[in-house]
Every structure is written in structure tokens, then in C-alpha cells.
Amino acid sequence: MLLKTNYQSSTTGEFKNTNLKKSSKQTLCYDLIIDGKIDISELKRAKKTKTWVKEILKQNNKKCENVLLLSVNGYDEVTIY
């Protein structure tokens, strides 16, 4: 028995994922704060500024020194631990 979930058979018998979204945005994750310290090199790679990070912290009622990890992906989705 072959279970196909989220995949579609092509005429060549190969399977392809039908849930993939094509996007020009990069989906890499950037760790902008690690152990309460802003990583300047990651800020540059993510094309973000200290002001942007401080605004995110303010919106989430956090202080930089109390953040274990702040990550952002190519869609500007932020995760804070």
C-alpha cells in the first residue's frame, strides 16, 4: 500500500510536493539576539537595524537582557524566547 500525502504523481511516476509555495523571499532564520545581546553581524545579514529590534522588543514588553533568543525569518516573522 502506497500512502500519498500532499504529493501528486506525475506522468513519469515520480512524486512532487504540491504544497510548496514559490516565493522570492528568503526563508532563512536570523538570530538577532542571543543570550541578551544583539548580534550586529546577523542584523546586517537580515537587513535590520537596532531600532527595528528595539521596537519589536517594546511591542512585546521585553528587555534585551531578558531575551534568550530573538529570531526573524524572511517573512519578518519574529520568535522570542
Q: Residue 17 has what pLDDT?
A: 45
pLDDT at 27: 74
Number of helices and strands in the chain (H, E)? 2, 6
What is the fold, at CATH topology level, of the domain defined by 25-80?
Answer: CRO Repressor (3.30.240)
Amino acid letter for position 47: K
pLDDT tens for the chain, 81 residues: list them: 444 444 444 455 554 544 445 554 557 899 999 999 999 999 999 999 999 999 999 999 999 999 999 999 999 999 999
